[in-house]
Structure 1
Amino acid sequence: MSKIQYFPPMFERLTPRTPWAGGRMVDTDVLTLAEAASMATKHAGEPVTIGDFLRAAARGEITLRAIVHRTAKVQKHDGGIYCNGGQENENRVPARAIATLPLTACQHLAAAGRASWRTFDGFELVEGVLQRYTKGELVAGEPDFETVPDDCRVVGYDVHALADEYTAPEATQAEPQAAPVEADSASDAPDTSKGTPPKLTEVDKAEILRLYNRGRGASVNAMAKQFNVSRPTIEKVLQRAGIKK
């Protein structure tokens, strides 16, 4: 590798928006995914899972790091010195170091629960946008690093940022109005002869149950935005199905 190739983000980086209420943690703490999920759940008041962290990392919304289990020789993207310049361990990543995972490794972890990788990501502001680039790589002949979720680490700042995505909106927030329906034909138009049509159809309700996946899938807050209804409306669907109390 020689010339730096930047990768503009496909999704916006998450940032904390509310005071932290998930327990004793600061932005620089390094947590396991199990610890992160537990504290994020406490802050949000609804389940935030390890899978939620992996998927957010796969989208580039948070940074995921991982412990490497062996010493390996590396080089900078241009073949130069990547780390420990002038020292005995120049260009060597020691065992138990915590490295920033490349986006492809995050995507593999989210999809398959395991990743093989050999590049190290860096971040740089380019025209005001924080972009990823490949900062270094394992030298030829070095086997790939292998990572599973138990190896992964996330810092407190990103735990707080992701947890805020699941935090309920303020109770005083007005219920959003449903978007107008533009029917393609008369047969597609909602029947208003018996009053205002329901905000959620039976198909919508079935999809909500599928997406929620008994607390392991989409959050109530996210589905409220997706279906353009209030959080209590989503919760009523789950309660009537006996999924959520």
Structure 2
Amino acid sequence: MKQEMKQEMETRNNRECERLIDRLSIDGLDGHNKSVEWLLESCELLGAEVQGKPSDNHYDSEVFEIRLSGKDSGVDYRIKVQYRPEILRLLGKRIDGVNLDSFKEIETIYTPFSRMVEFDTSWFDHTRREWARFCIVPKRQRHSDIPAEHVAGIYPVTQVWPLDRIVSLMHALNDDLRSAMMPEMDTLRRELCSAYPLSWFEGLTDERLDFEEVSTYVTHLKDLIDTSSWEEFTDTAEAFEPIAEMLREANSARRETRDQVTGRPMEVE
């Protein structure tokens, strides 16, 4: 019965992905179309569910949702995407004249075309039984002394096609316990201080995970949140790294045995 339900969900998800390809693809805009394919391939890889929201569609946009979980945290995430194809078609008229490897030119594009794709991110709060929105885009002002190469982090500035940013976000959320250790992910750290313990109590984590491990991890997140400079952050992170590595290895071992039981392909770290 469970296998039949799983196959039905996969079939429904595949149909929704096919509809998204038709709705989001734009003739002649190869870079964007490859981005659409990458998005859907990532959904399959991460076990994410795509849900069309036709009732929410506005006259100038398409709306859909992507739902996925942290692979070790068990936290349920939702990315709600609002996509405006007409703006993207305008961008496509002269995109050949833009140097997509230029930081300056990409930054210039983002200002007038920022409404191409808008999205918000939420995690499911089991105490309120509702989705809790949060902003995961790294805030540059949090640690103003972070070296420039670290600021872009999960979102490289050269990602001109907006759906590429959604893909990066999906991977960050799927590996949320590791992502939250990055300097620029201050908001994710704060959310996981609540989301991770609640996920454990809800039974969404591996049943072999002891709460002591959850507590150790969350305590470290709070230590990182309390830092006020790049140097203090790196010192705190480096001091915790041996313990962090032990936690990662324990999660990986549990995941490996779980995948062997379920028949899922083993994940590459």
TM-score (norm 2): 0.23
Of Structure 1 and Structure 2, the greater helix share is in 2
Of Structure 1 and Structure 2, the greater strand share is in 1
TM-score (norm 1): 0.24
**Structure ID, larger Rg:** 1
